[in-house]
Copies of this chain bind each other. A is one copy, B any other.
């Protein structure tokens, strides 16, 4: 399960958007590239800084709109617990991702947990609730951070 390179990711993103009739404009692609370049969880204002470095003046709404779009398309996940964004780590496969947020190192890992998440949705449905495809996240300790040594 080698992670995609930024180049591969951008390529797939293109196809992904084309297939959905969504316009992956220059700006949106650039923002996506900046997120990928940093790697891991990225904050909106980090992207803003990078964007300003790359293109001159830019304001918050510019990056928030691009990030919203990318989340909408499923290319990025929003990590509410950290007010951040992270590239989808299972773009190729159809999946329901579960985001594992380490509360020590703030690293985020995405695992495929389609079955469990479907169960969760079913439980919600029994309560009359109609879930929208959405990122579910758990916080806790990642493997590296719970070494007893």
Contact = CB atoms under 8 A, between A and B. Distances in A.
B139 A134 contact: yes
Given A80-B81, A111-B123, A129 B117 contact: no
B111 A98 contact: no
Q: How large is the interface on A (under 10, 10 to 19, 20 to 34, 35 or more residues)?
A: 20 to 34
A102 B124 CA distance: 12
Work out how many copies of this chain go into the complex.
2
Given A116-B119, A124-B138, 12 more contacts: A80-B80, A98-B124, A103-B132, A111-B127, A115-B119, A120-B138, A124-B140, A130-B140, A134-B139, A134-B140, A136-B136, A136-B138
A88 interface: no
